[in-house]
Amino acid sequence: MELLAAGVNHTTAELALRERLNFAEPEIPAALESLRRLPGIAEAALLSTCNRTEIYALLDGPVPDLAQWLCHWHRLESAPVRESLYYHHGNEALRHMMRVASGLDSLVMGEPQVLGQMREAYARAHENRALGNELAGIFQHTFSVAKQVRTDTGIGANPVSVAYAAVSFARHIFSEISGTRALLIGAGEMIELVARYLHEQQVRELIVANRTLARAGEIADEVGGTSIVLEEIPVALERADIVVSCTASPVPVLGKGTVERALKKRRHRPIFMVDIAVPRDIEPEVGDLQDVYLYTVDDLHEAIDENVRQRQEAAREAEEIIEAALSEHERSRREAEAVDTLRAYREQVRELADKELERALGQLHKGVEASQVLERMQHNLVNKILHGPSVELRRLAGENRMEALLLARELLLREKSPEQDDGKK
């Protein structure tokens, strides 16, 4: 059977198309069942995230029309899907799965979430009996390689997104970030990401301030925080150890005087501030105050650029790990094929031996002397085992196929060819 990986991702399809090709969690069991019914698909798994929808399958026949299947399932026109859909076969499919699991094929290189998403895709396929032993083994091998990439390289060691970099900076300022209080100003996508990252770090308190309380409340509710309007920032600032701001305001929302007053109330306990907004939300003069650590989006980008360079170096190391794993997988596959051949040959010889044994036992029952029976059995068995190889060797010699003859000597007599001996010297 042949491994197939097919789908669309952030490099081949616009967000609008990816959204329409996404599979919601409740529909995946039915989708897997439908996939398994397609001619040619023996085993299947389905990965669907905001950045990709991919089908992993083992084929026991021709490649089915997956574009048509996707279009039928999601009620889409076929042209844009066919233009965006890619197919990988055999080792290329396995390489693709390993690159996806390792974060090398992600929008943000090295991001760790996709490995968890692949594990969930595997678990769903397993639960719905869409996997057999072979595809399950391929997934396990893929997870093992991805773990090695994470362990042996720095692919995910340094932040390469502005939101994550802001939280990473905070971790360097505070020895125990879990005991801090954070004030987030704004309610856009960037602040939402920062809120999630800080929540993962188990900060003590999260406050989201925004012009409209409803939107601030949506983000705060997601991370177990509280929401306030912008006018309440001066009071909240007195409790905040971390301040991250990213609004669309054309003028600063946080001035030097407000921060000075908050510092006095805090008895000059330090405040870590990150201004992600362009134009800036926090007056530059705030950075001149003692006990304030103010970073701008430019400071973050400088660190991110260096981290991207480090991740690119780690990515090269990861690709080497994947290539080595592919070589080992191919070697194991070839060895498995040899085992099948050996099993068939062993069965063939066993049938010959059984027939000779049956004949020998019959002669013994007739009273023929045991030594004569055993000698005849040995003679017949050797001749019958060697008959097939003898015919083939004479044919190879007659066709002057010297390379095949040398290989036969290596297999039958365990003799190395002259070229192999030279290679050892």
Residues 6+ apart with CB under 8 A from 195: 184, 206, 208, 219, 220, 222, 223, 225
Write the class of the CATH domain 162-299.
alpha beta
H, E, C per residue of 367-415: CCCHHHHHHHHHHHHHHHHHHHHHHHHHHHHHCCCHHHHHHHHHHHHCC
Residue range(s) in the chain whose domain bears CATH number 3.40.50.720: 162-299
Q: What is the pLDDT along the chain (425 residues), one digit of tens a residue?
A: 899 999 999 889 998 899 899 998 899 999 999 999 999 999 999 999 878 999 999 999 999 999 999 999 999 999 999 999 999 999 999 999 999 999 888 877 787 778 999 999 999 999 999 999 999 999 999 999 999 998 998 887 665 677 878 888 888 888 889 989 999 999 988 899 899 989 989 999 999 999 999 999 999 999 999 999 999 999 999 999 999 999 989 899 999 999 999 999 999 899 999 998 888 999 999 999 999 999 988 888 777 777 777 778 888 999 999 999 999 988 887 777 777 788 888 898 999 999 989 999 999 999 999 999 999 999 999 998 888 888 888 898 888 988 888 888 888 887 665 555 555 54
Three-state secondary structure call for residue 47: strand
Q: Which of 27, 285, 109 is nearest to 273 (CA)?
A: 285
Q: Is the pTM for the entire model greater than 0.75?
A: no
Q: Which of 111, 172, 203 is nearest to 295 (CA)?
A: 172
Residue range(s) in the chain whose domain bears CATH number 3.30.460.30: 2-157
Whether 176 contacts 325, CB under 8 Å: no
The CATH architecture that domain 2-157 belongs to is: 2-Layer Sandwich (3.30)
- The residues carrying an active-site annotation are 50
H, E, C per residue of 272-308: EEEECCCCCCECHHHHHCCCEEEEEHHHHHHHHHHHH
Three-state secondary structure call for residue 9: strand
Amino acid identity of residue 161, one-letter, is S
- In degrees rounded to 5, what are phi and psi of residue 3? -80, 135
